Amino acid sequence: MARIAVGFAFGAIKKIQFDPCCPWKDAVVADTKDIPGENCVATIEADQPLLAPGRVMHPMEPILLVAHPDRNKVWQAARHVQITYEERDPVLTIEESLARKQLLRGTDNVFKEYLIERGSVKDGFLEAAHIVEGEYRTPPQEHAYIEPNGMAAWVEENGAIVVAGSMQCPYYVQKALKRIFPGRNIRVIQAVTGGAFGGKEDYPSMLAGHVALLALKSRKPVKMLYDRSEDMAATTKRHPSIVRHRTGLTKDGRLTAQDIDIVFDGGAYITLSPVVLSRGTLHATGPYACPNVRVRSRAVATNTPPNGAFRGFGAPQTLFAVEAHWEKIAQETGLDPLKLRRRNLVKEGSVMATGQVLKESVSASEALERCVARASYEAARLSHASVNRKPGPVWKGMGLALVHHGPGFTGSGEVMLASRAAVALNRDGMVSVLAATTEMGQGEATVLTQIVAETLGLDMSLVRVETPDTAKVPNSGPTVASRTTMIIGNILMKASLKLKDKVAKELGAFPTTAKGLKAAGRKLCAKGPLHFEEEYQKPPEIVWNEAAYKGDAYGVYGYEAIIVDLSVDRLTYEVKVDRVFTSTDVGRAIHPDLVRGQIAGGTVQGLGWALTENAVFSRGSMANSQFTNYVIPTFADAPAMDLDIIENPYPRGPYGAKGIGELPHNAPAPAVVAAVRQATGLLITELPVLPEKICHGMLMKKGRTS
């Protein structure tokens, strides 16, 4: 099947005509009239339609759906639809949105706004010996998972709609479908899913609505696989951002004030923007203690496809700004970026901008010092400086960054999710893990198996993870936000302890052998599995006030320091990352190989965003929606990495673990900027750090342009 879009960014659909010379006989076409319930794809709000209701807000907005038994004929049919439309001047950038070129949302185009205030920035600036301002920009980033989005749907004899496909969040899909198909039984099954990185968080609900609508209309199973170009052009991206900093410091570099203004481009519909913006806002100060802080943030509407979740969820944008800003501060004050971080980083007892007191497991200093030592940072910087003074093929640069990340949903998010997960002893003697938590390569099935096996004292081979299927597993919430190990792991640990107690009570002891479990299964599960389901319980000492936007924004933070060592070619200004060092506090590495996998993979994605990944938009459409032109790192681009794991246990995480999935994406980009500054003397404040920008900067320095 195919979805038909018109490719203009903003305007009204006047007429849809079906060319009679095309054999429409075998094709099934669905439009808005076929939607039995609400025409929406519900996420936080329900503003995004499933099919454009007479007007389009972005160029990839679906208008019609076509299914045909023959794939090639789908394309033929799609080419025989003529849509007449009236195009209006679209809003394509953050600046145009803020200037209200057109009103796309409310009276000001603002989807969501936050304000954090602590102390008085006014007083802080009065106290400051240095005041440094800077502006930092980041581009949209494409997930570029190797498996494109895909979904299948069919209608069962009893009228139930079944949807199976590539997704992170089966219950999100179910929630969206319930509003489109009210009164129908909806079953959602996760098929084996290739990498996602947030790209299969909200968009699969759209795809599922499309296939289900056609399945319902055609009464046949319908499958839709996006090809690469459509996937890149139509699905979500990391929010582009503009972040402005105004920072006050004492003479010796202690922070007195951080005044931060953040704007994210949300795209045409609100989707996940409020929560992406919230995480970005809460991480905007970096892992630093400053008595006077103001953070103002807005997400605005434009006529581009909605931006959405991507590993880090708003934090990489604002952490890029605060970390790159240290270079600006260093440039203007002559203070050393390493010493500036040492002076200001958070420690136990430090207070964050929301008033959160960091009570435990604060590893900013340890991460920084370990990384600096492993990379011989200070010696290498000196040696690079001397290389750069002499002739040679490259300029060398080493840069660092220090970041944090709060795993789990922001603020009261976990309380509202009220996730549930279960373990069960089956008649066959196997223990089942029942959760809607999805495997997409990150290794959740392994880690959850480990946690349950360890808690029960079993070999891992006696535990199996059931397929996430809304007909069979409880709603453990979405597989996002670095929450699986920490939140779901904890729930399963509690459920496992209850199972263990119950079995021990019945049999005297919990059996730990296959044989013993089999006997227990036969004895205790005659009427069905012995099932223990638990719900997330907020630790009482974690307190968040959503209305005031104050308190414990996250239960804990992970910390990472990164050092990027790179060379800039003196002829071509190409940047080659030679080595990367990371020191990462993960609380406890439940599976060290998987933890390293997350750090290595997140680091290279972060390097891609820093150096080459540039989703270019033209009239609201992605102009480079191919792997040829959207340039992600290859084997030859990725550096050798020294991955240092710090274990500073989090008492409320399972076995001390903190979530780790997103943290590694936060750090590379600002470290690249710092390293390129050492190599070239140029401070590049807009990602990606393309050779074109370095070339331009060098020409400006020499006072000439080509």
Partner 1 sequence: MKVLRPRSADEALRLFSENPLALPFSGGTDLMVAWNMGSLNGKPVLDLSAIREWIGIRKMPGGLAVGALTTHAELRDHPEIRRNFPLLAAACAAVGSVQIQNRGTLGGNIANASPAGDTFPALAVYEARVRTISRHGRRNIPFLHMFAGVKKTALNQTELIEAVELPFLHAKPARQVFRKVGTRAAQAISKTVAAGLVWLEKGGAIKEFRFALGSMAPTVRRLAAAEAFLKGRTPSSSAIETAAGLLTKDVHPIDDFRSTAEYRLEVSRNILRSFLGT
Partner 2 sequence: MKISVNGRKRSYTGPAFKRLIDVLREDFGLTGTKEGCGEGECGACTVLLDGRPVASCLIPVEHAEGRKIETVESLAPGKALNPLQKSFLEEAASQCGICTPGVLLTAWSWVRAGGSADRQAIRRHLSGNLCRCTGYQSIVDAVVKTIKRRIR
By rule CB under 8 A, what string of x and - marks binding of each residue 130-149 to partner 2?
-------------xxxxxx-
| Residue 593 interface partner, choices partner 2, partner 1, none, CB cut-off 5-8 Å depending on type | partner 2
CB of 439 to partner 2, least distance (A): 9
Footprint of partner 2 on 394-413 (CB under 8 A): none
Residue 691 contacts partner 1 per CB under 8 A: yes
| Residue 641 interface partner, choices partner 2, partner 1, none, CB cut-off 5-8 Å depending on type | partner 2
| 201 vs 265, beta carbon nearer partner 2 | 201
Contacts of 592 (CB under 8 A, 6+ apart): 645
Task: Report angle CA 649, 655, 658 to the nearest 5 degrees.
Answer: 55
Footprint of partner 1 on 616-635 (CB under 8 A): 616, 623-624, 628-629, 631, 633-635
The C-alpha atoms of residue 177 and residue 161 are separated, in whole angstroms, by 9
Residue 576 contacts partner 1 per CB under 8 A: yes
Amino acid identity, residue 353? A
| 82 vs 572, beta carbon nearer partner 1 | 572
CA distances from 447 to 465, 560, 597 (A): 10, 21, 13
Task: Report angle CA 329, 330, 335 to the nearest 5 degrees.
Answer: 115
Residue 72 contacts partner 2 per CB under 8 A: no
Residue 386 contacts partner 2 per CB under 8 A: no
By rule CB under 8 A, what string of x and - marks binding of each residue 607-646 to partner 2?
-------------------xxx---xxxxx-x-xx-----
Pairing of β 161-165 and β 2-4:
unpaired
By rule CB under 8 A, what string of x and - marks binding of each residue 635-654 to partner 1?
xxx-----------------
Pairing of β 394-405 and β 420-425:
unpaired
| 262 vs 684, beta carbon nearer partner 1 | 684
| Residue 623 interface partner, choices partner 1, partner 2, none, CB cut-off 5-8 Å depending on type | partner 1
Task: Report angle CA 547, 548, 554 to the nearest 5 degrees.
Answer: 90
CA distances from 194 to 171, 191, 233, 312, 691 (A): 18, 9, 19, 19, 32
Give the residue among 637, 533, 543, 659 at the shortest CA–CA distance from 590. Answer: 659
Residue 593 contacts partner 2 per CB under 8 A: yes
By rule CB under 8 A, what string of x and - marks binding of each residue 45-84 to partner 1?
---------------------------x--xx--------
| Residue span binding partner 1 (CB under 8 A) among the ranges 160-168, 263-271, 401-409, 689-697 | 689-697
The C-alpha atoms of residue 270 and residue 467 are separated, in whole angstroms, by 31
For residue 527, what are its two tokens?
């009427």
* Torsion over CA: 648, 652, 656, 662 (sign): negative
Give the residue among 478, 396, 414, 581 at the shortest CA–CA distance from 196. Answer: 478
Q: What is the chain's percent helix, strand, coil content, to nearest 5?
A: 30, 25, 45
| 464 vs 696, beta carbon nearer partner 1 | 696
Choice from 382, 572, 651, 701 touching partner 1 (CB under 8 A)? 572
Radius of gyration of the chain (CA): 26
Pairing of β 621-622 and β 617-618:
antiparallel
Amino acid identity, residue 332? E
668 three-class SS: helix
Q: Is 340 exposed, middle or buried (0-12, 13-18, 19+ CB in 10 A)?
A: buried
CB of 2 to partner 1, least distance (A): 11
Residue 601 contacts partner 2 per CB under 8 A: yes
Choice from 107, 158, 386, 706 touching partner 1 (CB under 8 A)? 706
By rule CB under 8 A, what string of x and - marks binding of each residue 193-232 to partner 2?
xxxxx-----------------------------xx----
Residue 251 contacts partner 1 per CB under 8 A: no
By rule CB under 8 A, what string of x and - marks binding of each residue 599-618 to partner 1?
-------------x-x-x--
| Residue span binding partner 2 (CB under 8 A) among the ranges 179-187, 271-279, 435-443, 686-694 | 435-443
User: DSSP letters of 327-396?
Assistant: HHHHHHH---HHHHHHHHB--TT-B-TTB-B--S---HHHHHHHHHHHTTHHHHHHHHHHHHHS--SEEE
- What DSSP element (H or E) covers 675? helix 668-680
| 195 vs 355, beta carbon nearer partner 2 | 195
| Residue span binding partner 1 (CB under 8 A) among the ranges 88-96, 300-308, 533-541, 694-702 | 694-702
Sheet containing 394-405, strands listed edge to edge, beginning at the edge strand earlier in sequence = 394-405, 558-569, 575-585, 640-646
Residue 695 contacts partner 1 per CB under 8 A: yes
Size of the site for partner 2 (CB under 8 A): 39
Residue 460 contacts partner 2 per CB under 8 A: no
**What backbone torsions phi and psi does residue 14 show, to the nearest 5 degrees?**
-95, -45
CB of 234 to partner 2, least distance (A): 15
| Residue 184 interface partner, choices partner 1, partner 2, none, CB cut-off 5-8 Å depending on type | none
Size of the site for partner 1 (CB under 8 A): 30
Positions touching partner 1 (CB under 8 A) are: 72, 75-76, 227, 570-574, 576, 612, 614, 616, 623-624, 628-629, 631, 633-637, 691-692, 695-696, 699, 705-706
Positions touching partner 2 (CB under 8 A) are: 143-148, 192-197, 227-228, 440-443, 593-594, 596-597, 600-605, 626-628, 632-636, 638, 640-641
